[in-house]
Chains A and B, each alone.
Chain A
Amino acid sequence: MGLIKIVGGLLIILSTSLIGFCYGNRYSKRMNNLIYMEQCLKILETEIVYGAVPLPEALSNVYKKGNKKVSFVFEDIKNHLLEDKTGDIYQSFKSVAGTLNEKLDFTKEDVEIFLSLGRVLGSSDRQDQEKNFKLILNQIAILEKEAKLERDKNEKMYKNLGILAGIAIVIILL
């Protein structure tokens, strides 16, 4: 009887800590992904502003050169663009909004800024594209800072909360 109680208690603590851990982990994942996204956008900027590479090829290159954890969205955008044929880049960007939110833990605000790139990408000359990239990279840098603050604030808290909640439940049940 005692053994079952101990094992049961441990299981509860384990699972709640896991929940806390996952919850807290989202913050560092978001921050890391924002950093990878920034790198990808910088690659894209180089492709466009200095290489004048046509967009589908540029997106493909970003996928190849960037960190695969994030750069796969650019390949998705490219595929959508080539299949869709409606001639609207913004739609192709929109098609990955869900993925950004679910797989990369981006907040609504992050996604919004990324999508704003879709509105201007490819629709002007190189000089103008460079300006747009600067603007968006600036915004992403701000988001990164914010993500770091939030991570520092929340990550530990959620992790501790998970363990403590588990212990609390066990104590009540005992």
Chain B
Amino acid sequence: MNDLDRREFLRGSAGGLAGLALVPELDRLFPKLPAGAELRVGLVGTGARGKEILDELAKIDGVIVQAICDRDSGKLRSGGRRAKDAARHDNVEQMLEQEAGLQAVFVATSTDQHRAVAEAALAAGKHVWCEAPLAHTLDDARALAASGGAAGTVFAVGSEARSNPTYQRARAIFKSGGVRDLVSVRGGWFQKATWRAVAPSDERERLLNWRLDPARCAGLPGEVASHALDALLWFTGERPESVTGRGAILLHKDGREVADTVALDFALPDERRMGFEASLANSFEGEHLVLRGTHGTIKLASTHAWLFKESDAVTQGWEVYAHREQFFKDEGITLISNATQLADQGKLKEGMGLPNPPVYYTLHDFVAAVLEGGEPVCSGVDALAPTVLGILADQAIRSRQTVAVDPAQLSLEG
């Protein structure tokens, strides 16, 4: 969220409420790994997301990118500019066979390839970090969640919500009754982008345009709503009972069949709703999730989070540490448990958000889990329910009917 968005948001939605910005612990903002520890990794998929991952891995001490892999020669070449010392491969099997010493594999391929690549790496005894969602079909999602759980290595899914220090702080407040009883949830993801790739040949172009192929991708619900659903499940434990949706192509009328704009309505228990909108035709407000309760509202916006209290909400102990900050005509109160330390380091000037992009923290959590022998922050089982809900939401749009959610679909026990 940029400054203008933030000001507009605060001006438009705060009303008579006091805005409390949720700032995580300093140690979580700049996490450390054991000194001297090394992890030799490979990255499969060097498209836009893979390149972001390479940029963030470069900031994590001890990570050595030994190999990169992509079926597309152009993507492999551009990925190679970021990882000049890494060996390059055009297929996963070759990489796994030839790269002795590879300990972990990051999977940033098209979603329809997640299962095959991740299972191949797990079978080779590698630790695996897999981009969310797990898969584009219910069968693949279930199978990969099971494979990940059965592996003797770490299998982690890139849930940006669960690793996000700001969201962790907000969740702790939510769990401690900070907004009291949940009233409704509203989420959004807006980005002005084509989701299209171009390549010199039709075959390469078809390969790269997996997001525009209904057979290989569950559209905006599968790719982006699933992340908001993950946050919903992690914060509230509320499981949607059904979903309806509408989708349309409002900007990118370039022959695609996949909607560039969608609106979803999830029915939560006790007649509550979660609305979710996403569009590739407009970028205003970016990514956000609003959890509205009887005593307050939490707004999550990727790198930032705020708490707005109702006037009748009880003042809680942690509020005495609040740092006040002016946003245009509104005064927000920054909640920082170690404000003095941050102020000493001049870091309050940076604002209230994360210094690193959210993906950095999920990558760091995975590396820490491998090097320190811990559990993944988001396992395949954790990632199953949001993946399934995203796929069902896509089905609801395509069928233009309400799709019921069978609770058994959301866990491996069912």
> Are A and B physically bound partners?
no
Tell me the A residues contacting B by CB distance below 8 Å: none
